[in-house]
A and B are shown apart, each in its own frame.
Chain A
Amino acid sequence: DSGVTQTPKHLITATGQRVTLRCSPRSGDLSVYWYQQSLDQGLQFLIQYYNGEERAKGNILERFSAQQFPDLHSELNLSSLELGDSALYFCASSGGVAGGQGTDTQYFGPGTRLTVL
């Protein structure tokens, strides 16, 4: 158990809908990262938040947005869903003291499997 929790575990929805994925980082971790894992794209970095602020952005679609709240949990919002958005979405957290280090260990949650029908 990494200490990172993600809800829900599974999500099935229809095209055009909007969903919210939730992540609770390990106690004390300030950084949260979101990743998408799909068969055709592999593991893709989406976005990083540090202590409530966006710090790094990857291949995140404009239809997707994220935020980190004062209690450090994070939400990933996916809207206007398409079939191709079906994937496993992972959240990870790291300590990130003083902004963090590139060598910080990221602890991954178990993921949310999103199926868009």
Chain B
Amino acid sequence: AQSVTQLGSHVSVSEGALVLLRCNYSSSVPPYLFWYVQYPNQGLQLLLKYTSAATLVKGINGFEAEFKKSETSFHLTKPSAHMSDAAEYFCAVTLNTGGFKTIFGAGTRLFVKA
């Protein structure tokens, strides 16, 4: 079965520090991988997506993620955290089932300390 695992339900970093949010997936076919961000009381917003064009994917707000097939990982990073990055982050995989079914990880809440 396809699944997405996000390691760490909560991650806390200091402002200016590296952000690393971990995501591992299981998929029997080449995956469509995504990272979304959800701010309080809002819907999800796409940060970035893996389209197989490049293994290192750059997204909005300075985030990037690297697709590593050998490790079945798609970790999200940002070199320097900002207070405005505090939010919940979801890794997701979309499966082609004739239509498109998206499976989300459990989410990681990022706290940024001043």
Contact = CB atoms under 8 A, between A and B. Distances in A.
B42 interface: yes
Interface string B87-101: 000100011111111
Contacts of A108: 36, 43-45
B49 A105 contact: yes
Nearest to A96: B100
Given A43-B104, A58-B101, A111 B90 contact: no
B96 A102 contact: yes
Contacts of B50: 103
B108 to A, nearest CB: 12
Given A50-B99, A56-B98, A42 B104 contact: yes
B107 A48 contact: no
| Interface size classification for chain B | 20 to 34
B14 interface: no
Interface string B32-51: 10001000001111100111
B102 interface: yes
Contacts of B51: 103
Given A42-B107, A45-B103, A56-B99, A105 B46 contact: yes
6 contacts: A42-B106, A48-B100, A100-B99, A104-B100, A108-B44, A108-B45
Interface of A: 2, 4, 31, 33, 35, 42-45, 48, 50, 54-58, 90, 92, 100, 102-111
